[in-house]
Amino acid sequence: MKLLFIADPLEDLKIKKDTTLAMMLAGQKVSHAIYFGKAQTLHSTGAKVQILAQRLEINLTQSPWYKIVSESVEDLVNFDAVLMRQDPPFSVEYLTNTWLLSQAERVGAKVFNSPTALREHSEKVAILEFSKWITPTLITRSLAQIKDFHQLYQDIVIKPLDGMGGMGIFRVGPDGTNLASIVETLGQNGERSLMAQRYLSEIKDGDKRLLLINGKPVPFVLARIPQKGDIRGNLAAGGIGQARPLGPTEIAIANELGPELVRRGLFLVGVDIIGSHLTEINVTSPTCFVEITQQTGFDVAKFWLEELEMQIMRG
C-alpha cells in the first residue's frame, strides 16, 4: 500500500516520541510505501488535487533519520490512504487544506480523518454535544459573563479555543486576581471567544488521554501529570506521562463517543479526561502512541495500522 502523510516538516518531528513517525515506522515495517507531503504544497489542477510527495526510507540509527528516495507531484487518488497530520492552529490556510482534501475525496481519495469532520469538529467546543460528561462550561467573548461565571464557581480555568499543548491556559482562584487582565489579553478585548470551566482538582492525578482508533479504545490511557506549580498536564508543557489501564469512566466515554465519531469520519481521536469529566476531543493530530507503547508493551501504531488496513480494504 501507498500511505501519504501530510504533516509538519520532517525535521520538526521528535524522533523519540512522535506519533506521526511511529505511524510511518509501522507502515514501513510491513513494506508499505511511505510518502510525506507538506500541506503548503497541496494544490488543485481542475478537479484533481495534487501534492509534492516525497517517498521516504526511515532509519532511526542515521542522521537525518529519513532518506528521500524520490520526489514527484502526485494525485492524491494515487495513494491508498492520505493521513492528515498537520498540527493546529486551525487557521484559514488549514481550512483551505480541508477544502482541497474534500475535493480529493470527491474524486476518489481516501482521507483520514475526514476533512469534512475536521472542519465541523472544534476540539474544545465539541464537548458540549456530550454535556453529561463535562464540568460547568461557558464559551463567550463577554468579560461580564466570565466574571459572573467566576463568581458562581470561584475557581475556574480560562483558555482560548484554538490553543494546543497547554498554551494560554490560566487558572483564576477565589480572589479573582488578574481575571479581567487575562480575559482582555486572551480575548483580545472581546474579539475572540474564550472557554471558561470550573477548575477540576483531579488534574493533580493527571489529564488522561484516551485514544479511539476506528471507534475502538486503546486499552490504556496516558495520564499526563502536571509538574509542581502548574495546572497543565500537557506533555508539551512539561507534564509527565503515566500509562494506566482503562477505568470504568474511560470505558463508558469510549462506548458512547466511539461509534458516533466513527460515523462522522473521525478514524483517530484523542479524548482528554480529567477525573470523570470530558475536557477535549482532539482530531487534528492526536499523539501519545509512543509513550503508551513504551510503558505497556501494547503496540498502538500496529493497532492503528491494522485498523487502517481493514478500513481501506472495505473501501
255: annotated active-site residue: no
Q: Pick the range with the lowest mean pLDDT from 74-78, 90-94, 117-121.
A: 90-94
Q: Pick the range with the lowest mean pLDDT from 40-49, 159-168, 187-196, 298-307.
A: 159-168
Please report, for the chain, the start and end positions of each structural domain, with discontinuous segments joined by +: 2-119, 136-199, 203-299
Using CA atoms, how far apart are residues 315 and 301, in angstroms rounded to an integer? Answer: 21
124: annotated active-site residue: yes
Residue 18 has pLDDT above 70, yes or no: yes
159: annotated active-site residue: yes
Q: Looking at 97, 214, 234, 282, which residue is catalytic?
A: 282
232: annotated active-site residue: yes
Domain range 2-119, its CATH number among 3.40.630.10, 3.40.50.150, 3.30.1490.20, 3.40.50.20: 3.40.50.20
pLDDT of 228 reads: 73
Residue 33 has pLDDT above 70, yes or no: yes
Q: Do domains 2-119 and 203-299 have the same CATH topology?
A: no
Which pTM does this prediction carry? 0.92
Q: What would the pLDDT profile of 247-262 be if each residue is shown by its tens digit? A: 999 999 999 999 999 9
**pLDDT-derived band of residue 233, with 50, 70 and 90 as boundaries?**
low
Higher pLDDT: 279 or 164? It is: 279
Sequential DSSP letters for the chain: -EEEEEES-GGGS-TTT-HHHHHHHHHHHTT-EEEEEEGGG-EEETTEEEEEEEEEEE-TTSSSSEEEEEEEEEEGGGSSEEEEEPPSP--HHHHHHHHHHHHHHHTT--EES-HHHHHH--TTGGGGGGGGGSPSEEEES-HHHHHHHHHHHSSEEEEETT--TTTT-EEE-TT-TTHHHHHHHHTTTTTS-EEEEE--GGGGG-EEEEEEETTEEPSEEEEEEPPTT-----GGGTPEEEEEE--HHHHHHHHHHHHHHHHTT--EEEEEEETTEEEEEE-SS---HHHHHHHH---HHHHHHHHHHHHHHH-
pLDDT of 227 reads: 79
198: annotated active-site residue: no
pLDDT of 164 reads: 67
Residue 29 has pLDDT above 90, yes or no: yes
Residue 237 has pLDDT above 60, yes or no: no
Residue 236 has pLDDT above 90, yes or no: no
234: annotated active-site residue: no
* For residues 33-50, average pLDDT: 96
Q: Looking at 74, 123, 250, 280, which residue is catalytic?
A: 280
**pLDDT-derived band of residue 165, with 50, 70 and 90 as boundaries?**
low
Q: Looking at 110, 124, 198, 208, which residue is catalytic?
A: 124
Residue 307 has pLDDT above 70, yes or no: yes
**203-299: CATH superfamily:** ATP-grasp fold, B domain (3.30.470.20)
Residue 106 has pLDDT above 80, yes or no: yes
Q: Looking at 123, 232, 250, 291, which residue is catalytic?
A: 232
Q: Looking at 198, 224, 234, 250, which residue is catalytic?
A: 224
* For residues 98-103, average pLDDT: 98
pLDDT of 167 reads: 74
pLDDT of 229 reads: 60
Q: Pick the range with the lowest mean pLDDT from 42-46, 110-114, 311-315.
A: 311-315
Rounded to the nearest integer, the mean pLDDT of the chain is 94
Q: Looking at 18, 85, 113, 159, which residue is catalytic?
A: 159
**136-199: CATH superfamily:** ATP-grasp fold, A domain (3.30.1490.20)
Q: At residue 111, what are phi and psi to the nearest 5 degrees?
A: -115, 135
Q: Looking at 74, 209, 250, 291, which residue is catalytic?
A: 209
Q: What would the pLDDT profile of 188-227 be if each residue is shown by its tens digit? A: 999 999 999 999 999 999 999 999 999 999 999 999 998 7
Q: How far, CA to CA in Å, does 41 sit from each of 37, 52, 53, 245?
A: 7, 6, 9, 41
209: annotated active-site residue: yes
8: annotated active-site residue: no
Residue 285 has pLDDT above 90, yes or no: yes
Q: Looking at 18, 74, 250, 272, which residue is catalytic?
A: 272
